[in-house]
């Protein structure tokens, strides 16, 4: 796994985390394998940089997904499928092999469902969690049994979440063609004023003007008029 810094705002990453289809995937898987006691995602996903640490068997998918089992997860999964045996000590070697095979098939089915839900079907699961040097930011979902005890954890890198968010955004719309300058300016309002002539008055004369007074301009009315645009 490689550490990245997302260009997305933190709010967008949080929405991407909430929109990951893991809850539905886990519920469908549980309903297919367990008759009564169910397994489900417990609580909200938490940020981490060490997926699978302190857990039992781990698998990794496409550098972006880690599935980590609790140390006793396979035995508990078998119990969820067939119930608690009346006398565990009476189980034969064949019985235990049968239960182990059922638990392994159950986990294999979960891996298949996760790859499909996350659209990583072209990648292959491999055993082992990321190395000790890996410090990629991840989000981890905890899957618990009906008593709230952790069965397994599913960790997704933030890089995978960001890729899904970006893919959901779709391509940016193509910019529209710019109109010609003449078209763009055709609807713009323009203020125009005309200067007919000038007349000089003192302040006293200006104050004494009344309706009907006549001002003498310095230009004949039949002379060209000065036009001022946007003044």
Q: Using one digit for the tens of pLDDT, what is the confidence trace for 11-32?
A: 878 888 888 999 999 999 999 9
Token pair for 114: 């996760």
93-117 and 73-82 helices, crossing angle to 10°: 100
Its sign, for the CA torsion 196, 201, 205, 208, is positive
CATH number for the domain running over 10-169? 3.40.1550.10
Q: What is the pLDDT of residues 133-152, one digit of tens each?
A: 456 789 999 999 988 999 99
Cβ atoms of residues 136 and 48 within 8 Å: no
Collapsing DSSP to helix, strand or coil, 71 comes out as coil
Number of CB atoms found within 10 A of residue 112's CB:
13
Q: Which residues pair with 65 in a beta bridge?
A: 61, 156
What DSSP state is assigned to residue 162?
H
111 sits in which H/E element: helix 93-117
Find, among 157, 174, 141, the residue nearest to 22 by Cα. Answer: 141
For residue 154, give the nearest of 8, 36, 21, 32 by alpha carbon: 21
**How confident is residue 54, by pLDDT bands cut at 50, 70 and 90?**
low
Tokens describing residue 148: 């709230």
Give the pLDDT band of residue 59 (cuts 50, 70, 90): very high
| Domains in the chain: boundaries | 10-169, 189-229
Distance CA 109, CA 115 (A): 10
Residue 5 has a CB neighbour count (10 Å cut-off) of: 9
93-97, 108-112, 155-159, 166-170, range with greatest mean pLDDT: 108-112
Is the predicted pLDDT of residue 85 greater than 80, yes or no?
no
Instruction: Provide the phi-psi class of 92: left if phi over 0, else alpha when psi is between -120 and 50, else beta.
Output: beta
Residue with tokens 């763009």: 184
Look up the pTM and report it. 0.68
């Amino acid at each position: 796994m490689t550490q990245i810094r997302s260009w997305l705002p933190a709010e967008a990453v949080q929405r991407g985390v909430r929109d990951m289809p893991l809850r539905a995937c886990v519920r469908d898987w549980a309903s297919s394998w367990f008759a009564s006691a169910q397994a489900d995602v417990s609580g909200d996903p938490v940020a981490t940089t060490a997926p699978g640490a302190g857990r039992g068997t781990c698998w990794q998918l496409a550098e972006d997904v880690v599935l980590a089992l609790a140390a006793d997860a396979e035995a508990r999964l078998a119990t969820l499928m067939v119930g608690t045996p009346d006398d565990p000590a009476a189980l034969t070697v064949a019985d235990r092999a049968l239960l182990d095979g059922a638990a392994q098939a159950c986990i294999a089915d979960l891996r298949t469902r996760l790859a499909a839900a996350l659209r990583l079907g072209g990648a292959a699961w491999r055993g082992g969690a990321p190395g000790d040097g890996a410090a990629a930011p991840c989000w981890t979902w905890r899957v618990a049994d009906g008593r709230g005890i952790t069965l397994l954890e599913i960790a997704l890198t933030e890089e995978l979440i960001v890729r899904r968010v970006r893919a959901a955004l779709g391509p940016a719309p193509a910019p529209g063609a710019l109109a010609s300058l003449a078209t763009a300016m055709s609807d713009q309002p323009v203020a125009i004023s005309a200067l007919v002539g000038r007349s000089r008055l003192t302040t006293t004369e200006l104050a004494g003007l009344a309706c009907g007074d006549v001002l003498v301009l310095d230009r004949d009315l039949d002379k060209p008029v000065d036009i001022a645009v946007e003044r």
